[in-house]
Every structure is written in structure tokens, then in C-alpha cells.
Chain A
Amino acid sequence: SYVLTQPPSVSVAPGQTARITCGGNNIGSLSVHWYQQKPGQAPVLVIFHDRDRSSGIPERFSGSNAGNTATLTISRVGAGDEADYFCQVWDRSSDQTSWVFGGGTKLTVL
């Protein structure tokens, strides 16, 4: 099955830019979605189809995807952005339909 690899943690100072990566074999050929999950809450879709922002998500959130790495970029990071972030794709590599998540990245605002 398809494997998505995320760094366990990313730390950034307030006002700086956070970049969270999601690695996978030729992930650039897939459509990548990103979810934000704050403690005790359900995940929320933030970026879909590599770079489209979900309704209500600030322009500070952006996405890119090429080669073997997809990236979620959060500019001008604030305390409210502290959360776990998960990437997700549809795994079309196997003969059965499945959806795969990365292991998640905890974003800490210093």
C-alpha cells in the first residue's frame, strides 16, 4: 500500500513561515489534501487538491505538490495555528480502493 511520510514535529516562531512536508513515491501525480486537527477536536479540511483552500481558511495557508513531496505552507504563523496536520491521498496503486493518511505533524508555535 502507498506510504505517506511526514515529520513528527515542526516548530516555528510567531510571525514566521511553517512548512510541513508529506513525502510519497511520485506523490506529484496524486491529489493531496491537508487536514488540521486541534486537541480534542475533529479534523478540518484546510487544503484540497494540492493547493485549493477550503472555505473559511485564511490565505496564509497554501499548498504545493511536485515530484516526491507535497508541502503545506503556513505564513505569518500565530498561536491559533498550533495543531496536528495530516496529509491524505487516494491510494490508486493497489487493486482495491483505499485512502491513506500521513502520520501527522505537530506544529508548535514557539
Chain B
Amino acid sequence: EVKLLESGGNLVQPGGSLRLSCAASGFIFTNYVIVWVRQAPGKGLEWVSGISGGGTTTYYADSVKGRFTISRDFSENTVSLQMNSLRAEDSAVYYCAKKKADYSAPFDFWGQGVLVIVSS
């Protein structure tokens, strides 16, 4: 059974940092790109970041470039999103999802999401 389980969500002050984790199981971890997608309360979906199956290529939305870093741990089958210099507008539910390596492939399975609140 495919599983993606996010963790690490929390309340953090503006300017602070947070590290999210996505634990994967039930599929061949290195065969899939893992992405992070966020959803602010009552809003739509926004792609945030992605990392290739081999961990050598990373992708970032302009809104987070230079502040967020995505990485992959092959011993733990996890993908992490290090979020620095957090802003109020980063408050959202963050989902991790998997997709095949083809750029045009869909996000075929999603985790349940984790809540990040940036507020003083």
C-alpha cells in the first residue's frame, strides 16, 4: 500500500524556520519525483518544490526560492523541506505527493498534509 506521511507542522513566528518531513512507503522510492504542494486556508493549490528520484535535481517555485530547501534521505525513504525566513503568507497545509519522472506526469498520490502557521 502506497503511503506518504507528512510531519513537522507547527506554529512559528515570522522570520523563523521549520523542517517538514515526508515519509514514503509502498513504492520504489527512487523511481519517483516527490513534490510539495501547499494550500492556504480557503484557497487553491500551489506547487512549492520538487526533487528528482535520484535527489540530484531540485525545483522551486519563485515564491520560495532562496528560502526553502528540499532534500532526500534514501536510508529513511524521506523527503524533507527546510523552510527558512518564514512569512505569514507561507501559512498553509503542506502536502507531499509523488509523480513519475516525466515532467508532464500527474501527482498520482498525495499525503494527508501538515499544517504550518506563521504568526506572532
Contact = CB atoms under 8 A, between A and B. Distances in A.
Contact of B106 (A37, A49, A104): A49
Given A43-B95, A97-B59, A99-B35, A88 B46 contact: no
B104 interface: yes
Interface residues of A, number: 28
Which of A41, A42, A100 has the largest number of chain B CB atoms within 10 A?
Answer: A42
4 tightest A-B CB contacts, nearest first: A33-B106, A48-B106, A31-B104, A42-B110
Contact of B112 (A35, A42, A88, A99): A42
Contacts of B97: 43
A73 B44 CA distance: 20
B107 A33 contact: yes
B72 to A, nearest CB: 17
A1 B45 CA distance: 16
Nearest to B61: A98
Interface of A: 1, 30-31, 33, 35, 37, 41-45, 48-49, 54, 86, 88-90, 92, 96-104
A43 B45 CA distance: 9
Given A42-B111, A90-B103, A101-B37, 19 more contacts: A1-B62, A31-B104, A33-B106, A33-B107, A35-B45, A43-B37, A45-B109, A49-B106, A54-B108, A86-B44, A88-B45, A88-B106, A97-B103, A98-B61, A99-B35, A99-B50, A101-B44, A103-B44, A104-B44
